Amino acid sequence: MIQPPSNGILTQDIVTYSKLYDNDSIPVSQLACYKNGLILDGYPSWKTVGDIPHSITGLEQVDGPDSPLCGSCWILTYGETSRPVLILDSAKEGFVSTLDTLNWLASGKGEELGKIEVKATKVDHTNCGFAPGDIHKEL
C-alpha cells in the first residue's frame, strides 16, 4: 500500500483500470471526491466524467470527499513511459484509472495485462494541465 508522499517523493504501487472512467455519461456525483455539488473546487461545469479533460484516477487512500488527496495530481511511470493523472475517486487497491491510461503506460497492452506496477509521484497541479493558481485549495 502506498503512503501519500509529499514534495515529489516516489512510491510504487499497482495501477489497474475501470471502464467506469471511460464512460463519459457517468455523473461526477458517483465519484468519492464529490462534495457540495462539485467534484473539484472551482470547476462547477464538470457534471459528468466526460466533462473532465484529465485522466480520472482513484486512489486507495481516498476515503471520501474530505480526503486531502482529492484533486491531487500524480505522475505514474511504467518503464520509460509516464502519464499525469488527477485523483477524483477512491480505489480498493492502489491506483485505478482509465483503460486509455493503462494502455498508454503499457504500450497498448493495458487490457491484456490488467494491472501493472508503476512508480507514482505526487506533483504540482501544473503537471495535470492546470495553470498556476487554478486549484483553489492547498493540496
pLDDT in tens, 10-55: 678 999 999 889 999 999 999 999 998 888 887 778 899 988 888 8
Give the 3-state DSSP-derived string for the chain, with helices as H, strands as E and coil as C: CCCCCCCCCEEEEEEEECHHHHCCCCEHHHCCCCECCECCCCCCCCCEHHHCCCCEEEECCCCCCCCCCCCCEEEEEECCEEEEEEEEEECCCCEEECHHHHHHHCCCCHHHHCEEEEEEEEECHHHHCCCCCCCCCCC
Find out whether 54 and 19 touch, Cβ atoms under 8 Å: no
Domain boundaries, the chain: 10-128
Question: What does pTM read for this prediction?
Answer: 0.86
What's residue 1's pLDDT?
Answer: 38
> Once rounded to an integer, what is the mean pLDDT over residues 42-69?
89
CATH number of 10-128: 2.40.40.10
pLDDT score of 87 more than 60:
yes
Of residues 69, 71, 74, the one with CA closest to residue 85: 74
Rounded Cα–Cα distance for residues 112 and 9 (Å)? 30
Rounded Cα–Cα distance for residues 63 and 136 (Å)? 21
